[in-house]
Amino acid sequence: MAEEKEIGTVFSFFNKVGVAAIKLKAGLKTGDNIHIKGKTTDFTQKVVSIQIDNKAVDKAKKGDDIGIKVDDRVRPNDKVYKAK
């Protein structure tokens, strides 16, 4: 398996809307595949939408706080990796 690059950390999860709030350490764009991993979290998914301050964007850069829709529950401090 290819080496995955850590691109961010989850800092919040909004259960009702299924959105993870992530602090980015590297850029991310819609269409990228990500792998979210933590103590009880481990899944891969495609990024279908990214929001910054409740506005949809196509890409985000290092240092941005973003919200993305996730396929499963995530928890604060879960790590986000860019998957191949």
**Count of domains for the chain:** 1
Question: Does the structure show a pLDDT above 80 at 1?
Answer: no
pLDDT at 3: 79
Domain interval for residue 68: 5-83
Cα–Cα distance measured from residue 27 to residue 63, given in angstroms and rounded to the nearest whole number: 9
Question: Does the structure show a pLDDT above 80 at 2?
Answer: no
Cα–Cα distance measured from residue 77 to residue 19, given in angstroms and rounded to the nearest whole number: 15
Cα–Cα distance measured from residue 29 to residue 41, given in angstroms and rounded to the nearest whole number: 22
pLDDT at 58: 97
pTM: 0.94
Q: Write out pLDDT tens, residues 15-73.
A: 999 999 999 999 999 999 999 999 999 999 999 999 999 999 999 999 999 999 999 99
What CATH number does the domain containing 28 carry? 2.40.30.10
